[in-house]
Structure 1
Amino acid sequence: MIHLYALAATITVALATIVGLLWGRRALTRIAASAAGLMILGLMTAYLLPSGTVEAGSVTTDSQKLLSRDRPVVLIGTSGLRWQDVDPETTPHLWEMLDAGAGAAGATPTTAGSNSLCASAGWLGLSSGQTVLTGSTVGSGADKEYRCADWAVEPADGTAEDADEHGTTGASGPAEVVGWSFLQSLQQRSVFRPQLGTLGDAFADSEKCATAIGPGAALVLADTSGTVSRYLTIEQALRDPVAAFSCPLTVVDAGSAPHDMPDQDDPASSVTPPGPAADNERASDVRAVDDMVSRISAAAPESAQVLSVDVGGPAPGRSSLGVAVSAPEPGEAGQYLSTPGTRWVGVFRVLDLPITLTSAAGIPAPAEFTGSPLTQSGARTADTAESVAELVSLTERDHTLRPLTGVVTTSVLFLALGAFAMITVGLPRLRQRGRVVLARRASRATAGILTVAASVPAALFLMTTWSWWNPAATELPMWTALVGSTALVACTAALAPRNRVWAAPAIIAGITFVLLTVDAVLGTPLHRGSPLGAAPTLGGRYYGFGNPTYSVYAAAALVFAACLATLVKRRFGRVWAIIATVSVGAVTLLIDLLPQFGADVGGGLVLVPTFAVLVMGVAGARVTWQRFAVVGGSGVLLVVLIGFLDWLGPAEQRSHLGAFFQSVLDGTAMQTVLRKGGYAARSLWTDPLSWLTLAILVALGLLLWRGRTFWPRFQAGWLTRTERAWPVLRPLLTSLIVAAVGGALINDYGMRIATFELFAALPLIGLAVIGAARSTPQIKEIPSSRSVPAR
């Protein structure tokens, strides 16, 4: 937890600086400085008393590749085996391996939804190195159902059957995947366009042999024609293990443990996963899989590097991290596994396996492969039960967090809209009717609601410092951590002086900005327990800034820069205000864009013109299309330069920027752009909240543009009043629109980018608006029980 101590210390120091500048009270600054000292003391203690082990889910630091090139590799694949299934009674062999010091990790499956219900799901992902389609939807209406594509493995010319009939051990021979052409045709419907047989072709082209044992393994090592050069059944391989495991790579299908049927209310309930559904029968399947892993491990050569990984599917319902275990090495302590592609201790993608296998064999990785080779990411605890519990917690934490995202963000957005309605409609009417006391109380309540709402984005990340998932990931500690973190930020904002309408927004936006900046520098540890962070069970972005984080970070950075510019301009003049705004913009851009921090290509493209609008507003310069185009072009060149520098590094260590630069070179970039563009377009007509977001942006745009040219009579009292107290408000709102629209156009989240930005920015702007409304002269209430006659 060293990074959390460092994070808390940095945030506290930043708060002391912000509050000291805004208020200037020595006592308050001393209190904040004392708190910072305590946090720094905790940091030093954490360094002086290291535990020697890491926790699953932490940020990876130094690591080394798991597999070496001078030893053969045996990959044992299972299907449907989760860490929740691992215990001494049901999986005694896996438990003994962990006791002996085996490496361990949770493996993110290659597919989700209906595709994960098919037996071919994980195996085809290994074959192509990408997410695949495993079936198709047939029928319509009540008769609509999802059907898995049929396939089978037949030894060519009956060689394997002939060997069995004669009682011999059965030397490996070629085999053919029946139904391969239909499986390939399915992939043409995928936006990823996976090419089945890519891994098999890589080994065939390098003239290095690879043996497939069992039907699933045949799918992995089949070439693009559907042919497997060396194929054996499990029984044949166990009768003559010396011949069976003689190649540099052997892939084994150790069996499946299908999960229970989904509920009837589940959208995928029409799909019937293969295998038994009863709990006791599934426990029997898990034991059978564990026993097969034990037999294969015992038959593998002593020099072999044995890796047992659940490749996923058939698994209806929510995705879970599968069981991944590497055979223990003599004299070595147990390690968690990871990859540079996830940067999570104890987490890697099943799609990291293809490049891991080619790297171990010394074969150049095909361009279609993503991810990085498996690494050892740190010593795990010697207590096997504790290690298993940590890996189980990764799935449970993710399942607990995901439903919170929509609930919180939507609730905050509607609270902010309701507060705006109160400010613009409710409060003026109360004052017009002479209900000044009631208006004052409503104003205070509205300010309190906006303060809490504005504090939620920071709290969604700060809640991770509570480690709320220990000892179990349940909703009560999660909500407690969120409420406590929100209260901490809101109480700090309550210290803001009321005579400056931008003071409270400055504190909250400053906390959010500093929080996410330091989090990115430390490897995004706070994302791992945040509803807005990565979802390891779904296999998307694991590190850096995802789309929700970009939205929150951009909004907080813009508001904080505008507040800081106002403060600096009052004390030091316009030039220093411009420098302050540029500085915040530069930090925001570098943190969001650099591969070692945010690694966000789309955000980097948008932030340059976004901050340019704000800087020109602070400088009092006019925003013209020519200036905007020059600045936007400069942003593109900067992104290209950083992507090129990232691309120069090793392929397995490239971030999203380097990978995209490579896709430009190999001609697949347009496919990525079109795929993301399709996702963005669909967000507009599949999410009703996107319609509301678009309406708000259009209304705000008309309000700002109102026509100083076309509609001079179109006035907004709240905007005029707040702009008078905070002159930089108009360029700030313009830059927020640019960030929202630009992010929606470039990122695959589409209008949801703008929704998340409104979630973060609207309460902050509302605080300034209510501050301006509360500072205007008010009518004294008429001391009479009679209503005031209408004028």
Structure 2
Amino acid sequence: ASPAWALTGLVAAWALVLTTVALLIGRRHRLLGPAAVVAGATTLVLAVDVITGATLQVSAPMGVQPVVAGRFYGFNNTAFALFAAATILSVVAVTDPLVRAGRRRLAAVLIAVTGAVATFLNGMPGLGSDFGGPPALVPGFAVLALMAAGIRLTWMRLAGVLGGAAVVVSSFAVIDWLRPVEDRTHLGRFVETVLDGGVWDVIGRKLAQNLANLGGTWLTLLALAGIALVAFVLSRPLRWAAHAPDGGPFGWLSSGAPLTSLGNDAPMLRPGIVALGVTLGIGFAVNDSGIVIPAIGVSLAVPLLVTVCAAWLLQVRDGIVSPRADAT
């Protein structure tokens, strides 16, 4: 049999199994259940893979290719983008019932613990060994935890979050640098480069690679489409329609419910989107893969967010969710 057909069949079979489980879970947890299944499975597979040597990423359709020989250990940038998006969406689904029940502090603690574990797996030398992951994960999960706790985001708090991210990634790098030379990953080698005075050459090379990735790739189009969609949704006409008591011009779609009712029925959805934007945006800025990070993250996050919106509309139609005209 052709390897290509065998791989296609295997992927299709697993997709069918995962879809079936998601639909079954969705019968009881209709709003965030299906998204939680897909995101949770993605998180679990990538976490187990990196713990056991990251063998699944080699020659995978969205993994690293031996011909390129970029790296054969830890989290590559594509896997990081999938892992980050999936982990954030997973914890959003888990903590949403807690926030709806008024248990915001517990939700924030759970997010913080999840973020710490994810950052450890991603950045720890010998595991993820990813230099560009922790600077994106720490702010994303920190913002998510603050919003879950109902704490207002200020510039001072955001500065503290970014400072914490810098401390975390520096700690991983120094820990790796303290190991024997033959055991170091690129984290420790970066520290040695800084000590040798070559840091600006590294920054210049990574910046050039980042900018080069912006042109001539379908990933750029995918990321730009996601940005354009967000800009369109946040435009004034749609914001007015979202707050209209009867759903405005979209009332036919939401059975007369204001679209902002979705934020009441899934209060962690908006913080999750903000956290995704923070993580993927910083990931774009600090990784040499550049646009690959948000593009891959969007390819997972957007379909799952669409399922949440579709599930909410079905609940409104079936009367499971009570439309709230006073939603803001």
**TM tier, smaller:** 0.7 to 0.9
- 1:629 correspondence with 2:159: yes
Q: 2:23 aligns with which of 474, 481, 494?
A: 494
CA 482–694 in structure 1, closer or farther in 2 if over 3 Å, else same = same
Q: What amino acid does structure 2 have at the position aligned with 1:538? A: V
What residue number does 2:247 align with? none
- 1:732 correspondence with 2:272: yes
What residue number does 1:517 align with? 47
Query: Is the contact between residue 595 and residue 656 of structure 1 (CA under 8 Å) also seen in structure 2?
Result: no
What residue number does 1:751 align with? 291
Residue 696 of structure 1 aligns to a residue in which SS?
helix
Q: What amino acid does structure 2 have at the position aligned with 1:760? A: L
What residue number does 2:323 align with? none
Q: Which has the larger radius of gyration?
A: 1
Q: TM-score, normalised by structure 1?
A: 0.37
Distance in 2 between residues matched to 1:489 and 1:535, nearest whole Å: 26
What residue number does 1:539 align with? 69
- 1:562 correspondence with 2:79: no
Distance in 2 between residues matched to 1:507 and 1:778, nearest whole Å: 23
When the two chains are superposed, the root-mean-square deviation of aligned CA atoms in Å is: 2.4
Q: What amino acid does structure 2 have at the position aligned with 1:578? A: A
CA 642–689 in structure 1, closer or farther in 2 if over 3 Å, else same = closer
What residue number does 1:477 align with? 6
Distance in 1 between residues matched to 2:2 and 2:135, nearest whole Å: 37
Deviation of 1:594 (Å): 0.6
Query: Is the contact between residue 509 and residue 556 of structure 1 (CA under 8 Å) also seen in structure 2?
Result: yes
Q: 1:596 aligns with which of 126, 130, 139?
A: 126
CA 527–692 in structure 1, closer or farther in 2 if over 3 Å, else same = closer
Residue 105 of structure 2 aligns to a residue in which SS?
helix
Query: Is the contact between residue 701 and residue 737 of structure 1 (CA under 8 Å) also seen in structure 2?
Result: no
Query: Is the contact between residue 513 and residue 553 of structure 1 (CA under 8 Å) also seen in structure 2?
Result: yes
Q: List aligned pairs for 1:656-671, cutoff 5 A.
A: 656-671=186-201
Q: What amino acid does structure 2 have at the position aligned with 1:713? A: W
Query: Is the contact between residue 176 and residue 187 of structure 2 (CA under 8 Å) also seen in structure 1?
Result: yes
- 1:586 correspondence with 2:152: no
- 1:642 correspondence with 2:172: yes
Distance in 2 between residues matched to 1:684 and 1:525, nearest whole Å: 29
Distance in 2 between residues matched to 1:694 and 1:626, nearest whole Å: 30
Q: What amino acid does structure 1 have at the position aligned with 2:17? A: L
What residue number does 1:713 align with? 240
Deviation of 1:722 (Å): 2.6
What residue number does 2:281 align with? 741
User: CA-to-partner distance for each residue in 1:696-753, whole Å, 9 max, x for gaps?
Assistant: 225425745x67xx99636386852432320111111111111221111111111121
Q: 2:306 aligns with which of 758, 766, 770?
A: 766
- 1:618 correspondence with 2:143: no
Distance in 2 between residues matched to 1:556 and 1:768, nearest whole Å: 14
User: CA-to-partner distance for each residue in 1:656-705, whole Å, 9 max, x for gaps?
Assistant: 2111111111122221111111111122232254144224225425745x
- 1:506 correspondence with 2:36: yes
Distance in 2 between residues matched to 1:669 and 1:525, nearest whole Å: 31
Query: Is the contact between residue 545 and residue 598 of structure 1 (CA under 8 Å) also seen in structure 2?
Result: yes
User: CA-to-partner distance for each residue in 1:221-249, whole Å, 9 max, x for gaps?
Assistant: xxxxxxxxxxxxxxxxxxxxxxxxxxxxx
Query: Is the contact between residue 63 and residue 79 of structure 2 (CA under 8 Å) also seen in structure 1?
Result: yes
Deviation of 1:773 (Å): 1.0
What residue number does 2:204 align with? 674
User: CA-to-partner distance for each residue in 1:394-431, whole Å, 9 max, x for gaps?
Assistant: xxxxxxxxxxxxxxxxxxxxxxxxxxxxxxxxxxxxxx
Q: What amino acid does structure 2 have at the position aligned with 1:488? A: V
User: CA-to-partner distance for each residue in 1:113-153, whole Å, 9 max, x for gaps?
Assistant: xxxxxxxxxxxxxxxxxxxxxxxxxxxxxxxxxxxxxxxxx
Query: Is the contact between residue 581 and residue 615 of structure 1 (CA under 8 Å) also seen in structure 2?
Result: yes
Query: Is the contact between residue 694 and residue 751 of structure 1 (CA under 8 Å) also seen in structure 2?
Result: no
Distance in 1 between residues matched to 2:68 and 2:302, nearest whole Å: 30
Distance in 2 between residues matched to 1:488 and 1:649, nearest whole Å: 43
Distance in 1 between residues matched to 2:5 and 2:60, nearest whole Å: 15
Distance in 1 between residues matched to 2:20 and 2:232, nearest whole Å: 35
Distance in 2 between residues matched to 1:583 and 1:548, nearest whole Å: 24
Query: Is the contact between residue 99 and residue 267 of structure 2 (CA under 8 Å) also seen in structure 1?
Result: no
Q: What amino acid does structure 1 have at the position aligned with 2:94? A: L
What residue number does 1:548 align with? 78
User: CA-to-partner distance for each residue in 1:147-181, whole Å, 9 max, x for gaps?
Assistant: xxxxxxxxxxxxxxxxxxxxxxxxxxxxxxxxxxx
Distance in 2 between residues matched to 1:559 and 1:762, nearest whole Å: 11
Question: Which runs of 5 or more residues in structure 1 are unaligned?
Answer: 1-471, 780-791
CA 616–500 in structure 1, closer or farther in 2 if over 3 Å, else same = farther
Q: What amino acid does structure 2 have at the position aligned with 1:598? A: G
Q: What amino acid does structure 1 have at the position aligned with 2:136? A: V
Q: List aligned pairs for 1:75-114, cutoff 5 A.
A: none
Distance in 1 between residues matched to 2:63 and 2:47, nearest whole Å: 14
Residue 92 of structure 2 aligns to a residue in which SS?
helix
Question: Which runs of 5 or more residues in structure 2 are unaligned?
Answer: 244-249, 320-328
Query: Is the contact between residue 683 and residue 750 of structure 1 (CA under 8 Å) also seen in structure 2?
Result: yes
- Quick check: which one's helix share is greater? 2
Distance in 1 between residues matched to 2:293 and 2:107, nearest whole Å: 29
Query: Is the contact between residue 561 and residue 585 of structure 1 (CA under 8 Å) also seen in structure 2?
Result: no
Query: Is the contact between residue 552 and residue 757 of structure 1 (CA under 8 Å) also seen in structure 2?
Result: yes
Distance in 1 between residues matched to 2:222 and 2:45, nearest whole Å: 29
Q: What amino acid does structure 2 have at the position aligned with 1:724? A: N
CA 746–702 in structure 1, closer or farther in 2 if over 3 Å, else same = farther
Residue 316 of structure 2 aligns to a residue in which SS?
coil
What residue number does 1:248 align with? none
Residue 614 of structure 1 aligns to a residue in which SS?
helix
Q: TM-score, normalised by structure 2?
A: 0.86
Q: What amino acid does structure 1 have at the position aligned with 2:240? A: R
CA 481–777 in structure 1, closer or farther in 2 if over 3 Å, else same = closer
Residue 558 of structure 1 aligns to a residue in which SS?
helix
What residue number does 1:775 align with? 315
Residue 713 of structure 1 aligns to a residue in which SS?
helix
CA 488–778 in structure 1, closer or farther in 2 if over 3 Å, else same = closer
- Quick check: which one's strand share is greater? 1
User: CA-to-partner distance for each residue in 1:491-529, whole Å, 9 max, x for gaps?
Assistant: 211211345301111121111111111111111122235
Distance in 2 between residues matched to 1:731 and 1:572, nearest whole Å: 16
Residue 88 of structure 2 aligns to a residue in which SS?
helix
Distance in 2 between residues matched to 1:620 and 1:754, nearest whole Å: 27
Distance in 1 between residues matched to 2:185 and 2:219, nearest whole Å: 32
